[in-house]
Amino acid sequence: MPDWDLGQLRALAAAADLGTLDAAARALHVTPSAVSQRIKALEHQVGAVLLRRERPVRPTAAGEPLVRLARQLDALTEDATRHLAAPRVPRVPLAVNGDSLTTWLLPALAPLADRVVVELVREDQDRSAALLRDGSVMAAVTAERTAVQGCSVEPLGVMRYRPFAAPAFRDRWFADGVGRAALAAAPVVVFDAADRLQDRWLERAGVDPLAPPRHLVPASADFATAIRLGFGWGMLPDQQSDDDVAAGRLVLLDDGSGVEVPLFWQQWSLRTQALDAVADHVRRGARAALGGAARPAAP
């Protein structure tokens, strides 16, 4: 097993995070030459180029696991230091899809706010696993059911999305029913270019997803607001639409099952008290909001 030098690993991670050797040097309080020498020594030990020397610098495929290792070692060091020195609030970077963030995740994590610094990175549930692979986050709420290398995975539950519209929008565009011709003409609200929820529902209805005009609104709360204001129809999770339906601000276009998105919890396969606490609260929140078969954190 290699005898890793923590200073070399930190130099590599700092360069990858900050984009230049100069910025890494400032963060580590050393010279750029020292950062370069540490990275070269690590490359010599591994026998591979670990950093692409471009602007910004980026880790190579061989470098990505070592960047992740550096971040994991820092997390473990921070966890140990908390028990040996003056109390310091631990940090847990976490990727989460916008709809979970808007609906159930923040209430789930609120009880930890005075004990853990949670750094939330909003990322689509289909893409958040990439942040685990490069070590940018320690855990993720993701649609990826296959465990990222070095991570564990477990199901959280299912978010069900159904098509909603403002009453006036429905009356204008679907006066004769929600048929193919009307769906091909009625404007639709999508989150961003990667959002396929509306496309999947249109395809199920036999409509070309590229036919209707598309409004892009890349923020979960604003996405729902755009639908309420009549920009177009769109897919919303039950947790985000129930109050608006009860108040008459939204109407359901189809009473079918909608589109179901299974969510999973992936986290680094290491143990820190802070990460364990975050995972346990996420499981509880998912069980309450999604009906997931959440289990408590292992002792």
Q: What is the pLDDT of residues 244-278, one digit of tens each?
A: 999 999 999 998 878 999 999 999 887 788 899 99
Per-residue confidence band for 157, with pLDDT thresholds at 50, 70 and 90: very high
In a domain, 76, yes or no: no
In a domain, 72, yes or no: no
For position 34, which CATH number holds?
Answer: 1.10.10.10
Per-residue confidence band for 82, with pLDDT thresholds at 50, 70 and 90: low
In a domain, 50, yes or no: yes
pLDDT, position 294: 42
Same domain, 90 and 143: yes
Ranges of H-type helices in the chain:
6-18, 21-28, 32-46, 63-84, 98-100, 106-109, 129-133, 167-173, 180-185, 197-204, 220-228, 238-246, 273-290
pLDDT, position 128: 76
Number of domains present in the structure of the chain: 3
pLDDT, position 272: 84
CA 270, 290, 127, 243 dihedral sign is negative
Give the DSSP letter of residue 298: P
Higher pLDDT, 225 or 85: 225
Token reading at 76: 């473990």
Per-residue confidence band for 173, with pLDDT thresholds at 50, 70 and 90: very high
Same domain, 35 and 53: yes
Residue 188 has phi, psi (to 5 degrees) of: -125, 145
Question: In terms of Cα–Cα distance, which of 238, 224, 228 is closest to 191?
Answer: 224
pLDDT of residue 93 exceeding 50, the answer is yes
Per-residue confidence band for 131, with pLDDT thresholds at 50, 70 and 90: confident
51 contacts 57 by C-beta, under 8 angstroms: yes
pLDDT, position 125: 59
Same domain, 174 and 47: no
Per-residue confidence band for 163, with pLDDT thresholds at 50, 70 and 90: very high
Number of alpha carbons in the 13 Å side-chain half-sphere of residue 229 = 10
In a domain, 295, yes or no: no
Same domain, 36 and 57: yes
Same domain, 48 and 116: no
In a domain, 71, yes or no: no
Residue 118 has phi, psi (to 5 degrees) of: -100, 120
Same domain, 265 and 131: yes
pLDDT, position 48: 84
183 contacts 212 by C-beta, under 8 angstroms: yes
For position 226, which CATH number holds?
Answer: 3.40.190.10
Same domain, 52 and 22: yes
In a domain, 253, yes or no: yes
What is the pairing mode between strands 259-268 and 151-165?
A: antiparallel
Distance CA 230, CA 173 (A): 11
What is the pairing mode between strands 91-96 and 188-190?
A: unpaired
Same domain, 139 and 272: yes
Mean pLDDT confidence for 173-181: 95
Mean pLDDT confidence for 135-162: 89
240 contacts 102 by C-beta, under 8 angstroms: yes
* DSSP three-state, residue 245: helix
Higher pLDDT, 24 or 232: 232
Distance CA 72, CA 66 (A): 10
Same domain, 224 and 167: yes
pLDDT of residue 46 exceeding 90, the answer is no
Same domain, 114 and 22: no
Distance CA 228, CA 225 (A): 5
Higher pLDDT, 288 or 75: 288
In a domain, 1, yes or no: no
Residue 52's beta-bridge partner residues?
Answer: 58
220-229, 238-247, 268-277: least confident range? 268-277
Token reading at 170: 């429905």
pLDDT of residue 105 exceeding 90, the answer is yes
pLDDT, position 88: 67
pLDDT, position 132: 82
Per-residue confidence band for 292, with pLDDT thresholds at 50, 70 and 90: low
* Amino acid, single-letter form, for residue 3: D
pLDDT of residue 83 exceeding 70, the answer is no
Same domain, 267 and 153: yes
* Domain range enclosing 169: 160-260
Per-residue confidence band for 126, with pLDDT thresholds at 50, 70 and 90: low
Answer left, alpha or beta for residue 203, where phi above 0 means left and psi between -120 and 50 means alpha: alpha
Same domain, 174 and 248: yes
In a domain, 126, yes or no: yes
Distance CA 63, CA 40 (A): 12
**In 62-88, which positions are buried (b, 16+ CB within 10 angstroms) versus exposed (e)?**
ebbbbbbbbbbbebeeebeebeeeeee
